[in-house]
Structure 1
Amino acid sequence: MAMTARDLRTDDPLDDFIAREITLLDVTKRVHVAGRGPAVIVMTEMPGISPEVARFSRWLRDAGFTVYMPSLFGRDGAVPGAEEGGRVFQRACVSAEFRAFAGGQSSPVTVWLRALARHAHGECGGPGVGAIGMCFTGNFALTMMLEPAMLAPVLAQPSLPLNEPAGLEIAPDEIAAVRERLEREDLTVLAYRFAGDKFCRAERFRAYAEALGPRFEGRVLPDSAANTDVAPFFAQHVVCPHSVVTAHLIDEQGQPTLAARDEIIAFFSARLGLARAAS
């Protein structure tokens, strides 16, 4: 997939995105937008929109999507530093927007993100919207399925709640409603994790599978597939393979992480009509 290479070791100016202040439900957040085509919402992992997260958004843009990348925490475009990233993580853990340690309920910020999906669909048209959550935001794409415009949820290493390996960061009535919709509309959920991930363990994927049945498609990558040349935040605070399509992705043909990226793009293309448009 052709894209001008950028240095992942320096802060990304995000100068090929339009930084928009979007107000929904009386709450304003900065959202970086790029591309044309059906909308896909990219929700950053900890500790913010890193150069690797931006790279993933550019891959989606170049595949024919309009990317909406909301700023949820951290310093946009920053290389994940150990100390700064640690402070961002600590603040997010006590923020009222997130439920870092509470299973069985959704983070309040997901209400705003559902409104963003509705807004993006109105701007971009097409059959609906896709979304990917990563790490701290990993489960958000599932809760967003309560919004009818959302058609294609991807969960990359969903890590909340942090203190309960088998916990699901969504209320029981909400996940029941999501499963009913998945079955009614013949939709599926894609999810990814590394086998040795200590933040998103096998117990969580088993819980998703139990809650969603065959509508949940979990992918587990071998630890040997993870990039080991990572930014200081990951080297110090994330001492296991974790970020499937960003920090731990190896951008080389034949690599399982690159195959996961391609599968996600194909999933969005099929659900949002790009595959039909291209055929």
Structure 2
Amino acid sequence: MALLDSWTLGEHAFDGTTHPTYRKGSGPGVVVVHEIPGVTENVIKFADEVVAAGFTVVMPRLFGSEPPTPYTPPQLARSMTQVCISREFTTLATGETTPVAGWLRSLARELHEELGGPGVGALGMCFTGGFALAMMVDTSVVAPVLCQPSVPFPVGKARAADLNLSPADLATVKERAAGGCAVMGLRFTGDVAVGTRFDTLTRELGEAFIRVEFPGRKHSTVTEHRQQEGVDRVLAFFHERLDP
């Protein structure tokens, strides 16, 4: 049986942009945004764990080949080229929200309107790690999780500390955090791709930022270098914030 045979293929359109989506499960909604190079086998397996925990998962495909996308050096290179030339994403700019955030917020709103409840969860990883923070600007997102956020690419101190948010979006995120919307982040402490963003998040959000950190220089906390404690913490966070 293919990994996605039990998932329902659909699509979501917003502001002239359409991306395919995969949906499965029942219960409160969670948007799982894949990492580079795409919707890989381990991304699907993680999403299946979220479904098994009692959630409706919608997994958009923003880039990469037809899933399951192979996790190979050639595919990594192709996906990296794709995101670097696409107008939907930012890679080096500071103080700027990634353009695809609008599309993702629309997806979250639609899911929340359908399912009701307190809101939906959002989880990004690696290149898309910070996207969950940008989605939090929309009040439909009440459980944002950032797995090793790596954009903008940490070339220099300013980029390494940047949250990939415009000043206006950062102000909204801070306001929502002060109002009780917690943000969870996961990383390996030696992961240079994350830069100093966790320190920025702690400074800007205070106790609303929940740091989940593991020793070592690995990268993908819930997929390629999966940490069971991290997965358990994420699922508990979703239950705490999303269950009616």
Please say whether Structure 1 and Structure 2 have the same fold, judged by a TM-score greater than 0.5. yes
Work out which of the residue numbers 210, 217, 224 in structure 2 matches 1:217.
210
Q: Rg bigger for which structure?
A: 1
Q: Provide, for residues 82-133 of structure 1, a one-character-per-residue CA deviation record: whole Å limited to 9, x for no partner.
A: 1122111122122110001112111100000000000011222221100001
Three-state SS of the structure 1 residue aligned to 2:241 is helix
Displacement of 1:216 after TM fit? 1.2
Three-state SS of the structure 2 residue aligned to 1:199 is helix
Match of 2:167 in 1: 172
Letter matched to residue 4 of structure 2: L
Superposition pairs of residues 61-72 of structure 1, within 5 angstroms? 61-72=51-62
Deviates more, 1:153-162 or 1:24-33: 24-33
TM superposition outliers: structure 1 runs of 4+ over 3 Å? none
Match of 1:234 in 2: none
5+ residue gaps, structure 1, are 1-5, 7-11, 224-239, 250-256, 275-279
Are 2:178 and 2:205, in contact at CA under 8 Å, matched by a contact in 1?
Answer: no
Work out which of the residue numbers 35, 57, 66 in structure 1 matches 2:47.
57
Match of 1:108 in 2: 99
Superposition pairs of residues 38-187 of structure 1, within 5 angstroms? 38-75=28-65, 76-162=67-153, 163=155, 164-184=159-179, 186-187=180-181
- Give the % identical residues: 40
Match of 1:22 in 2: 12
Letter matched to residue 213 of structure 1: G
Name the CA distance, whole Å, in 1 between partners of 2:219 and 2:29. 26
Name the CA distance, whole Å, in 2 between partners of 1:178 and 1:264. 20
Name the CA distance, whole Å, in 2 between partners of 1:122 and 1:108. 23
Three-state SS of the structure 2 residue aligned to 1:165 is helix
Q: What value does the CA root-mean-square deviation take over the aligned residues? A: 1.3
Are 2:3 and 2:44, in contact at CA under 8 Å, matched by a contact in 1?
Answer: no
Are 1:60 and 1:67, in contact at CA under 8 Å, matched by a contact in 2?
Answer: yes
Q: TM-score, normalised by structure 2?
A: 0.94
Name the CA distance, whole Å, in 2 between partners of 1:174 and 1:198. 25
Displacement of 1:27 after TM fit? 2.0
Q: Provide, for residues 16-42 of structure 1, a one-character-per-residue CA deviation record: whole Å limited to 9, x for no partner.
A: 110102223332110000001111000
Are 1:179 and 1:215, in contact at CA under 8 Å, matched by a contact in 2?
Answer: no
Displacement of 1:215 after TM fit? 1.2
Are 1:136 and 1:160, in contact at CA under 8 Å, matched by a contact in 2?
Answer: yes
5+ residue gaps, structure 2, are none
Name the CA distance, whole Å, in 1 between partners of 2:22 and 2:5. 10
Deviates more, 1:108-117 or 1:175-184: 175-184
Displacement of 1:13 after TM fit? 4.2
Q: Provide, for residues 147-204 of structure 1, a one-character-per-residue CA deviation record: whole Å limited to 9, x for no partner.
A: 11110000000000002211221112211111111212x1210001101112113x11
